Structure 1
């Protein structure tokens, strides 16, 4: 969380593509630390390095994608492309889970870990091939005062422009809800799903979320009330699943998660549409750190009232969504 916004400014000032490349290298280093020093210092150090790597991706990727499409004359397609990217991000959990299980069965944690190192480095190589569009406020622009100026410009736009501020708040409130996926295996267990089939039972939730995210790009043209209705339906699905409290309730959770992911893609797309300044990655990173803090609130909400209270919070957010969208 501490690295989130500064790394966004670094991406804006230096290179969004470079930030993605560095992120993959750092995450590979984190896996290597966990493997070669499997004690408390190694795990703690690896988590710090991993966190910095994740912060470098947040904001930089969205900015690189948005400005790249805009430079190609396809800026209006951002929502659809971003929706498909999000869908792939969710769907890839299925084959990687199967591969990880096979690797663990054959070579234990070491096999999974070293393949993960290679995967992160391969991601860096792939990121290095991405085109990066020229932009205002880059490192060749001597009209500002460097990284600090970029940081101030991004934070200033996020907090000072009403349209951007409202879009950031909406992404923060919606994005934090995604922390509920941490509890899916526990929900399945509480609802009587045997531990042996628990991973397979919850697999339908990210698959449904991928379908919702893929449709989210088309939903970016919906009026705010229609988007709010979709979010309200997601909240109602969570509440229904909590009241049913049987294994079949996971199917209801999956349906709600699909609608939630659709709405989240709409909100994140509208944030990118609202940003007009050169510090796009920094503004997006401000939303990113807000999402992290909102996730902590979701953890607390779940601890106090479980899925029912979280569903109520989603319904309240759905009620406020049209007003936020008009700001």
Structure 2
């Protein structure tokens, strides 16, 4: 909650414009941010697997804080660009490490089946954090301008980094099934498990090798797991496709304005959408894997009805779509974590993050070409495409825990 309750979040575009940046320059900055995420995602995921998940999360908070220090102390295009590089690296340090730390910590407790429910709570916190972020921005900006907002954002990120550093580090042991090389859905030994392969097994990367060779082995092992293991590969694709569609939230404000909501009321009018998403994430623990495609198609139908209605009240249907979508997203993430061995968990999750960034470009292109109708077609295709990734691996076999 603290990591996402950053008062600069709803204001940084206004900060850029206040310092004379054009729309083209702002778009260029966002491109720098996205490109940094694509380049750094997998290498930082391997760092978390090789060294420390909690250390990676803490370093991510520090990097993001340094970005806001640059923005606040030296506002201007060069500092904004450098800040986005730092923020992009900070985000990738956290991405993958959080999911890996949570899942393996639950394995240490002998309760990996709780991941879906607790990850749903985490997802809900990230959405609910938009409320204190908006309130903080509204209160701080009149009191001290962008400078006060910036320094409070620095403090928020550093506070989150301190809390992350104090979390107990999880082990990388995984489950007995993982260690034994449990067959995947295709009946082949799971390369994500303890068996060795050409890329090096997860077991080898936590041994007493030199740091460089250990890191390279971890990176190669994670990539091999994501690419070569059928069950993991389909789950990675499902998570990447589903998460990429979350970029649609960037257009909620535009939809509200198109549907005759007065501009000054738009922020309040769309506030219920992330709150509904938080409710959906909290309820994800009750959702069965076989419900994923029907729920997502139902959400798409609600979004289509809202488009046909095109009135302010249609935002309630958008909120219904978002609740179902966020529930499905939590289920997809939990299925992915179930299939990854502990030693490669952050790396593989980061590979899914790269897929998310790249697939998100498809949504942007679809919206540019055909607006919401084109996005609805894309959502339908995604709903049908992710079905294989949601199939449980050996559903009749209980997962033994060490």
Tell me the TM-score range normalised by the shorter chain.
Answer: over 0.9
Aligned 8 A contact 1:239 1:312 in 2: no
Give, in angstroms, the shift of residue 217 of structure 1.
2.1
Counterpart selection for 1:8 from 45, 48, 52: 45
Distance 2:325 2:95 in 1: 20
Counterpart selection for 1:118 from 155, 161, 171: 155
Larger Rg: 2
Aligned 8 A contact 1:236 1:315 in 2: no
Higher normalized helix content (fraction of residues): 1
Tell me the alpha carbon deviations over residues 71-120 of structure 1, each in whole angstroms, 9 at most, x when there is no partner: 01111100000000100110111122011111012111111110000000
Give, in angstroms, the shift of residue 139 of structure 1.
4.6
Counterparts of 1:95-106 in structure 2 under 5 Å? 95-106=132-143
Give, in angstroms, the shift of residue 246 of structure 1.
1.3
In structure 2, the partner of 1:108 is 145
Moved more, 133-142 or 206-215: 133-142
**Residues 1:163 and 2:231 aligned together:** yes
In structure 2, the partner of 1:284 is 349
In structure 2, the partner of 1:321 is 386
Distance 2:359 2:271 in 1: 25
Aligned 8 A contact 2:124 2:277 in 1: yes
Over the residues paired in the alignment, what is the CA RMSD in angstroms? 1.5
Tell me the alpha carbon deviations over residues 267-315 of structure 1, each in whole angstroms, 9 at most, x when there is no partner: 0000000112511100000001110111111111111111111112212
Aligned 8 A contact 2:49 2:344 in 1: yes
Distance 1:306 1:112 in 2: 34
Tell me the alpha carbon deviations over residues 201-228 of structure 1, each in whole angstroms, 9 at most, x when there is no partner: 1100000000001111221xx142x221
In structure 1, the partner of 2:76 is 39
Could you state the TM-score of these two structures normalised by the residue count of structure 2? 0.78
Distance 1:55 1:108 in 2: 29
SS in 1 for 2:121: helix
In structure 1, the partner of 2:209 is 142
Counterpart selection for 1:90 from 127, 130, 136: 127
Tell me the alpha carbon deviations over residues 21-45 of structure 1, each in whole angstroms, 9 at most, x when there is no partner: 1001010000010011111101000
Aligned 8 A contact 2:205 2:217 in 1: no
SS in 2 for 1:21: helix
Tell me the alpha carbon deviations over residues 239-265 of structure 1, each in whole angstroms, 9 at most, x when there is no partner: 111111111111110100000000000
Could you state the TM-score of these two structures normalised by the residue count of structure 1? 0.96
Give, in angstroms, the shift of residue 137 of structure 1.
4.8
Tell me the alpha carbon deviations over residues 2-35 of structure 1, each in whole angstroms, 9 at most, x when there is no partner: 0000000011111111001100101000001001
**Residues 1:23 and 2:60 aligned together:** yes
Question: CA, structure 1 residues 252+137, in 2 after alignment: closer, same or farther (shift >3 Å)?
Answer: farther
In structure 2, the partner of 1:174 is 242
Aligned residues: 324
Distance 2:274 2:243 in 1: 15
